[in-house]
Amino acid sequence: MAINIPKTPEELCEYEWKGNPVVIAGYGRESTHKGYLSWILTSGLNPIASDLLKALIDREDIKSTNCFYEQRIASHKIDLLIEIECSSGQYNKLKLPIELKADSGPSGDTQFPDMTKHISAQNDYLPGRVFCLGSSSVQDHEYGGFTAVTVEEIYRKWLPYYEKGPNYFKDWLAALSLELARKSLAQQLYNQTKQSENKFYDYGYRSYKHLMYYIYSNFREYLKQNGSINKWLIYDGGYNAVMNHSTPIDGWGNIESLKNVNWFFEFNDDDFCLKLHQGSNDPSAVTKWVGNCIEQMNKVDPNNMLKTVFKKGGSYKSLWPKIAAWKVSFENFKIVHNRITEIMNLFGQNGVLGEISKA
């Protein structure tokens, strides 16, 4: 029996509540995938393990595999390390490191650079892979010498082996199909949950920001197709999903009177925010600039666009203080595009903040 990827929110909800073992164990937990994949990619446990790895890394000389988890590479532990016996080549025993990411990015700045350096110095290691199994597939991360592999790619390459595989392999691949549905149905689910009592977690989304990552990905593509030349980055803000301009050239504003301070716009879930990147040694000067900024912004707000504004006063010591936020709804991408364009024109580089930044 082939896998059917849910085509509607109703189908997705129905499949979620059928009780796929991977979903029950926690699709968003990397430890869940670690356990399943250590069996799926071990020849002694799964008769098609070698075929699956051949399909994944496009190598035909694989005879057998053994997959271990939590193996040390440099000062870090890799989620999976596959020992491969080959029938040809200079080395007949190779190692393939695989790191697993569901809805998160690298575990610190040194994780992938350190492992890449170590692997590059070894003759029997293949280049590492990162399985991006959840919203990490649309987030922008640096993985060093590791290659990111998406849910779409794994599913496409392994689906032809579905009927030949053991039940736990079928369960895992079926769980991937549900994640593909969450990605493709995100826009419908966003609109639907705004208008009904249905909640995002009924459809398998691990959190609200998990849903927003997929919305951002679709909106970013919409912007690109509609003439936006700016590059937008998507990443985890801790408490919320974030999408912002990637460089000062794209839309980060300099402040002539303040060293190491920039202002910029970004999305935090459903809010479009004006924020600072604040590295000044003079918090009082930053506070004064922000107070002047808020005062001037309120003066030129004929359409009552400002919804949330930090009040004048206090001390802006945090690295990323928020100055203002506007509620947006992603139910209609064209409306969101028009709204943020209006906001950036009125308050951005050619508006209030541009003038204040030059003073």
Q: Give the CATH number of the domain where residue 92 resides.
A: 3.40.1350
Question: Domain check: are 159 and 19 in the same one?
Answer: yes
Classify residue 3: in a domain, yes or no. Answer: no
Question: Domain check: are 17 and 165 in the same one?
Answer: yes
Helix, strand, or coil (residue 129) = strand
Rg (CA), the chain: 24
pLDDT at 97: 96
pTM: 0.90
What b/e sequence results for 126-146 when a residue is b if at least 16 CB atoms lie within 10 Å of its CB, and e otherwise?
A: bebbbbbbbbbbbbebebbeb
pLDDT at 90: 62
Classify residue 194: in a domain, yes or no. Answer: no
Alpha-carbon gap, residue 245 to 215, rounded angstroms: 16
pLDDT at 167: 96
Question: Domain span at residue 329?
Answer: 208-358
Alpha-carbon gap, residue 146 to 169, rounded angstroms: 25
Query: Could you give phi then psi for residue 135, rounded to 5 degrees?
Result: -70, -10
Question: Domain check: are 177 and 282 in the same one?
Answer: no
Classify residue 196: in a domain, yes or no. Answer: no
Q: In the structure encoding, which two tokens stand for residue 205, read together?
A: 């989304």
Question: Domain check: are 269 and 351 in the same one?
Answer: yes
User: Looking at the chain, how many residues does it have?
Assistant: 359
**Strands 232-236 vs 253-254: parallel, antiparallel or unpaired:** unpaired
Question: Which has the closest alpha carbon to 274: 202, 340, 337?
Answer: 340
In the chain, how many domains are there?
A: 2
Question: Which has the closest alpha carbon to 295: 285, 305, 309, 284?
Answer: 309
Question: Domain check: are 163 and 213 in the same one?
Answer: no
Local structure of residue 159 (DSSP, 8 states): G
Classify residue 165: in a domain, yes or no. Answer: yes
Question: Domain check: are 168 and 248 in the same one?
Answer: no
Question: Domain check: are 110 and 258 in the same one?
Answer: no
Classify residue 202: in a domain, yes or no. Answer: no
Local structure of residue 244 (DSSP, 8 states): E
Integer angstrom CA distances of residue 168 from 29, 68, 89, 176, 335: 17, 17, 32, 13, 45
Question: Domain check: are 221 and 348 in the same one?
Answer: yes
Classify residue 203: in a domain, yes or no. Answer: no
pLDDT at 33: 97
Question: Domain check: are 92 and 239 in the same one?
Answer: no
Q: What is the pLDDT along the chain (359 residues), one digit of tens a residue?
A: 578 899 999 999 999 988 899 999 999 999 999 999 999 999 999 999 999 999 999 999 999 999 999 888 888 899 999 999 998 766 688 999 999 999 988 877 888 999 999 898 888 899 999 999 999 999 999 899 999 999 999 999 999 999 999 999 999 999 999 999 999 999 999 998 776 656 888 899 999 999 999 999 999 999 999 877 778 899 888 889 999 887 655 568 888 888 888 889 999 999 999 988 888 888 888 888 888 888 888 888 766 666 666 655 556 666 777 888 888 999 999 999 999 988 888 888 888 888 888 86
Alpha-carbon gap, residue 245 to 208, rounded angstroms: 22
Classify residue 24: in a domain, yes or no. Answer: yes
Which of 138, 167, 183 is the endpoint of a domain?
183
Strands (E), the chain: 62-73, 76-86, 93-101, 129-132, 147-150, 232-236, 241-245, 253-254, 261-268, 271-278, 308-309, 322-327
Question: Domain check: are 24 and 135 in the same one?
Answer: yes
Classify residue 290: in a domain, yes or no. Answer: yes
